[in-house]
Amino acid sequence: MKPVAAALAAIAAFAFSATAATTACAGKDFDAVKARGQVLCGVGQGTAGFFLADKQGKWNGLSVDVCRAVSAALFGDASRVSYVPLTAQQRFTAVQSGEVDMIVVNATHTLTRDSALGLDFPAIYYYDGQGFLVPKRLGVKSARDLGGATFCVAPGSTSELNLADYARTHRMPIKTVVIEKADELRTAFFAGRCDVLTSDSSALAAVRAASVPAPQKSEDFELLPEIISKEPLGPAVRHGDNQFADIVRWSLYAMIEAEEYGITSENVDEMLKSDNPAIKRLLGATPGMGKALGVDEKWAYEIVRQVGNYGQSFERNVGQGSALKIAHGLNRLWTQGGLQYAWPVR
């Protein structure tokens, strides 16, 4: 009888674990956000296309849309977000200390940030790489011609470390002007305190499109062809609350999955009638996914309805519908030759 009893006990344990796995277990961060009724979202100090406040103080951008998606998943309302501007030096301590619940400051996922800082990086909303912006008057056509140049770069950034690695590898003597605040860094570059502005290529495209002061013009500057690093950018949350990290992860994945299935903010109501099992699970017509995350079954429906799918957000903020007009590149769906790939919603 002992083997039979052991087998029954094992079956019971499996059944219990399977049942428990279908319902999320709340953590302290999740509880705090729900009780507050608002997501505290750390953003950068202003990069067109990613996080920038308009004249009315409303924040817009691809990164901002991730916070809006999390709010829609949690509360059914994408507007329940409070945005906290942070410098490169402040961004990680702000989320570590609890000043914010999450950050979308275009922070690169690295080994040490993921392991040593007490942070989780749930997903990637933009695949980028570091580049160089220079005045055309310099006549420079390659980063290899920048030996002896002065570079403007933000402290505490991967850009600062990558620049040092690149100069060392290519035995290029360089000088740096290190300034923490983004607007002051840009001002220094346009005033001629440095020859080169180096950062993520997307940020440089934003600077050239939206930040060149008169009488200078955007066409007076060019991006050099070299990309010297991998910069996977995404949200970060504190270690220790898997449920909140899951909601951030799957909110972004819902946007990507919606793009893959052709679900947009315009047709999402019609798509509720789809016979596709994957679409039915995603939009909550077939229940279960909301319960697994600990949110309403219409969580993804509300994300798409109020924020849009990933492609819509990309086009509106940084793509052809924006001043930046950045090509999708690596940020195309995996089915289109890109890297954006959502885990299965099932």
Instruction: Please spell the DSSP secondary structure of 326-344, one letter per residue.
Output: ---GGGSBGGGTSSB-PPP
pLDDT at residue 8 in the model: 44
Question: Looking at the chain, which residues constitute the CATH 3.40.190.10 domain(s)?
Answer: 24-127+232-326, 132-229
Mean pLDDT in order along the chain per 10 residues (346 residues): 48 43 68 97 94 95 98 98 93 95 96 93 97 96 96 94 96 95 94 97 93 95 96 96 96 98 98 98 98 97 98 97 94 98 96
pLDDT at residue 27 in the model: 79
Across the beta sheet with 175-178, the strand order is 175-178, 150-153, 196-200, 130-135, 221-223
List, in order, residues 6 or more apart from 106 with CB less than 8 Å away: 44, 47, 50, 51, 63, 126, 128, 200, 202, 203, 233
Task: Write the secondary structure of 90-159 as one string of H (helix), E (strand) and C (coil).
Answer: CHHHHHHHCCCCEEEEEEECCHHHHHHCCEECCCCCEEECEEEEEEHHHCCCCHHHCCCCEEEECCCCHH
pLDDT at residue 16 in the model: 40
Check: CB of residue 102 under 8 Å from CB of residue 42: yes
pLDDT at residue 199 in the model: 96
Name the CATH code of domain 132-229 (choices 3.40.1390.20, 3.40.190.10, 3.40.50.2300, 3.80.30.20): 3.40.190.10
The answer regarding whether domain 24-127+232-326 maps to CATH 3.40.50.300 reads: no
pLDDT at residue 28 in the model: 86
d(CA 200, CA 207): 11
d(CA 196, CA 151): 5
Ramachandran area for residue 162 (φ above 0: left; ψ -120 to 50: alpha; else beta): alpha
d(CA 298, CA 289): 9
Query: DSSP assignment, residue 77?
Result: -
What residue has token string 């509880």? 31
d(CA 160, CA 88): 11
Helix/strand number for the chain, H first, E second:
14, 13
HSE (side-chain half, CA atoms, 13 Å) at 264:
9
d(CA 322, CA 52): 13
User: Could you tell me which residues are beta bridge partners of residue 151?
Assistant: 176, 196
Burial of 246 per CB tally in 10 Å (0-12, 13-18, 19+): buried
